[in-house]
Chains A and B, each alone.
Chain A
């Protein structure tokens, strides 16, 4: 190893980065823009479904039932309809996402102790958007039943036989942003760093500077380290920016030790840069390399657990996710930021990241050739 050679390579990359302030600005602005867009747009806690009501009972009891549903914030009554067919039509046409249908004998059945059948139609074509509404409707029904049965049997509704109290930990308000923002940090770092390094090496090939570079005594790994060094810094700046915006705009907590987070992030950043370098050796020009990079980016988003919980994936998809550094990093960053974990709790994932960093870097160095063939 020759520190002077390596130093020259690293310095040159920094100067080149400085000479291209437009790209530098983009690299810092894009993560913030993506965070703001995703942070506001991605909401898995869907509420306020537009709802129509077909109330054939038209009694105090039936109105009370509708009020109980709307009080959950999941249903917003848009209007009353006058036939079952009309209710279905409204949902079909997409004007309403839910319809509440109460039978003519609703109040009478309650009074006589018979079962009063209420129908709630929910547009479940998007399962995520509808699951809250479905759960809320079922809960309202149960509560009502408990109240009615309790009243009949003389039970005190204030002290039921079993009282299940769920306490949501780490994200008590169940806000999507709290869960999504740390994930966005991982996704943005991964996607931007892979693309940037993949293009950086192949660009030297295209402009002819690589030919001049590989005729020097620079070792392959020195070229590789020089290529990624400035982007480690870029990665850290991106990560810090997104973390700060997430904390102050989306009130995402920072519970764990930040030093552990920054340490593990170093491994993640190097892993992605190594992957980018590896990808750059798979193509001869920027167009080819961009295509190959995209091959990695979509699985990265879909299979790593950023979008969908990995627990819900079929075995094959879950196995594929094991080969993505992002999968492990998401566990690390969510653990540290949301659950206040230290390195002790996330060391297996951190170790995996170290393995990826080393492996990708070695693969890339091995594939990179100091010849023109």
Chain B
């Protein structure tokens, strides 16, 4: 479902925290329906980039357009068109699965569409039997699928997932990736950060960040090619990380 339309675009995006340059002139172009990966070691600026794209942080410099809105000037407009799943489980542990879904559905103003949308979310995120369970007692994989469900209830154009598979067992990770693939097939753009290199091959395209700089961008094969083509992405990742020290 990649129709070539650009839904996320950054030009020379910069974020400084005092003297630290967390994101250093990053320019990206992400097309509708892509599964786009932002890869890089810890501290490479992945999370900061995503937070700027979601309107949670203000760029120090540069431009970022998300679903047609400028994140610096219209952060609230951006927020209504995207879904966001933060690194740590950000839902209410003392609410049930259904209550969390109803809350986020209400917050996004789904109105009469809420009930069918919750049914859709539970079915497509494989949460069908869990409606009455408290979120706090769900397994890691279930929590992650519930978070994705809440982030996608309002049918956003773009979904940002910050390290969604961290700390989740392999079977749950595999299920999660097949769900991401399904959503992408429905035309939703999925932007995912990860530091698991074995996940790199799952992306349509990816960007490699190191110390806040974009060091490579393209399909997994293209990125491998730009580093000589002989090494695996994991080797490239380790090599980049060692340069940092």
Contacts and interface: CB of A to CB of B under 8 A. Distances in A.
Interface of A: 2, 4-5, 7-9, 11-12, 15-16, 19-20, 207-209, 211-218, 370-373
Contacts of A373: 57-58
Nearest to A372: B56
Identify the interface centre among B92, B94, B107, B111: most chain A CB within 10 Å of its CB.
B107
B94 A19 contact: yes
Nearest to B94: A19
B106 A16 contact: no
A211 B56 contact: yes
A370 B89 CA distance: 18
A371 B52 CA distance: 9
Interface in B13-64: 51, 54-58
A70 to B, nearest CB: 62
B199 interface: no
Nearest to B93: A207
A12 B103 contact: yes
Nearest to A214: B56
B102 interface: yes
B99 interface: yes
Contacts of A209: 90-92
B94 A16 contact: yes
A8 B55 contact: no
A370 B109 contact: no
B111 A208 contact: no
Given A12-B99, A208-B89, A216 B57 contact: no
B182 interface: no
Contacts of B106: 4-5, 7-9, 11
B95 A12 contact: yes
Given A15-B99, A216-B79, A8 B57 contact: no
Given A19-B95, A371-B56, A5 B90 contact: no
A225 B93 CA distance: 22
Contacts, number: 85
A209 B80 CA distance: 18
Top-5 shortest CB links A-B = A8-B106, A212-B90, A208-B88, A19-B94, A215-B84
B68 to A, nearest CB: 16
Contacts of B147: 212
B76 A215 contact: no
B75 interface: yes
Contacts of B58: 371, 373
B71 to A, nearest CB: 11
Contacts of B90: 208-209, 211-213
Contact of B107 (A9, A16, A371): A9
B84 A217 contact: no
A212 B109 contact: no
Given A12-B99, A12-B103, A2 B109 contact: yes
A370 B80 CA distance: 13
A199 to B, nearest CB: 15
Nearest to A12: B103
B10 interface: no
Contacts of B150: 212
8 contacts: A5-B106, A5-B109, A11-B106, A12-B92, A20-B94, A216-B107, A216-B108, A371-B57
A371 B71 CA distance: 12
Identify the interface centre among A8, A11, A218: most chain B CB within 10 Å of its CB.
A8
Contacts of A216: 79, 104, 107-108
B89 A218 contact: no
B194 interface: no
B149 to A, nearest CB: 13
Contacts of B88: 208, 211
B54 A4 contact: no
Contacts of B57: 371-373
Contacts of A7: 106
B80 A217 contact: yes
Contacts of B144: none
Contact of A16 (B56, B75, B95, B104): B95
A211 B79 CA distance: 12
B86 interface: yes
B103 A215 contact: no
Contacts of B92: 12, 16, 209
Contacts of B51: 372
Contact of B79 (A2, A20, A215, A372): A215
Nearest to B54: A215
A345 B76 CA distance: 46
B84 A5 contact: no
